[in-house]
Structure 1
Amino acid sequence: MNRRRGHGAVLYAVAALVLAGGTAWWWSAAPRASGDPRLLDWRQNAEQLLPDAGDQSVASTVAMGAGSGHEMIADIPGGNGTFLISVVCAGDSGSRVRVSLGGDESGRGVQCSGARTPEILSVALAGELHMRVNVDDVSPVVFRYTLQRMND
């Protein structure tokens, strides 16, 4: 009988060790909160300035670091046509992004602080949107865009 108690004790000890190890792994693998608490406020601000609309084709909101660039590619539901692209960003005072729709164009500068309204661009697209956004070095920003088909 003592031998069975010994095996039972070892089994319980191993189970406790596996549970402790699993708990430690789960705790260390949990996603961390965003490094910059301002990003949540900026996201809400950008979504208020440019809310979702029922007739939009595509919309996205992206947080980007200072001095970074991001290429956005989106399939266009319904294929070719003329679209309105609305863009807005939120960030620290003096922050800006440059939005380019491809090719050799230098893009359009968009202010990310102060009194802002969405910038609206009219473009002809053939099945896909290719947009490049470059952030200046002032601060991280939250960038939002919507794409809406124009009634031809």
Structure 2
Amino acid sequence: MGDRARGVVLYTCAALLLAGGGVWWVRAAPRQVTDSRIAQWQQDAQRLLPDDDEQRVAGTVPLAAGADHEVVADLDTGEYRVSVICVGGAESQVRVSLGDAGTDSGRGLDCEGGSEPNNFTVGTAGQLRMNVTVGAAGPVVFRYSLLPETS
């Protein structure tokens, strides 16, 4: 076999190897699993806990079953009303705790069907750390809002 024929075979094999690797790479990519209910639950959470002109921080986060999520908000020193709500399917729950993970038992919220927001007041010294843990049933949409307490 001549040099020219060996070059053609070598380049053809390299091209096939590259094409096969590309196909493998695309097929091996993790699939984005989306739940069609999430968009509706986000709208429900926004409706149940709407934005307020006075709020300092707010957010809406979709979370999978068993997920842990940390919210860190830099705030002025003072008291704030924390409003939280979750919306999810049957038997879905979240636990919200403040401070470092594991330092308090937190508050449990039932997410099924969406209910009224849960409100509580906290004092901060510049930063609020909120840990959200989703129970075994999920996914859920968690929404929170922080407003300064007026005296």
Indicate the TM-score class for this superposition, using the shorter chain for normalisation: 0.7 to 0.9
Q: Aligned AA for 2:146? A: L
Normalising by structure 2, what TM-score?
0.75
Deviation at 1:80, TM superposition (A): 0.2
State whether structure 2 residue 92 is matched by structure 1 residue 95. Answer: yes
Question: How far has the Cα of 1:55 moved from its partner?
Answer: 0.7
Counterpart of 2:56 in structure 1 is: 57
- Distance in 1 (alpha carbons) for counterparts of 2:81 and 2:120: 6
Shift of 1:114: 3.2
Aligned residues: 120
| Cα distance change, pair 123–75 in 1 and its aligned pair in 2 (3 A) | same
**1:108-119 pair list within 5 angstroms:** 108-114=107-113, 116-119=115-118
TM-score by length of 1: 0.74
What is the alpha-carbon root mean square deviation over aligned residues?
1.6
- 1:70 corresponds in structure 2 to 69
Question: Among the aligned pairs, what percent are the same residue?
Answer: 45
Q: Which residue of 1 aligns with 2:82?
A: 85
Distance 1:38 1:106 in 2: 29
Consecutive aligned runs of 4 or more in structure 1 exceeding 3 Å deviation: none
Deviation at 1:69, TM superposition (A): 0.5
Q: Deviations over 1:122-149 (max 9, x none)?
A: 1001111100000001111000000000
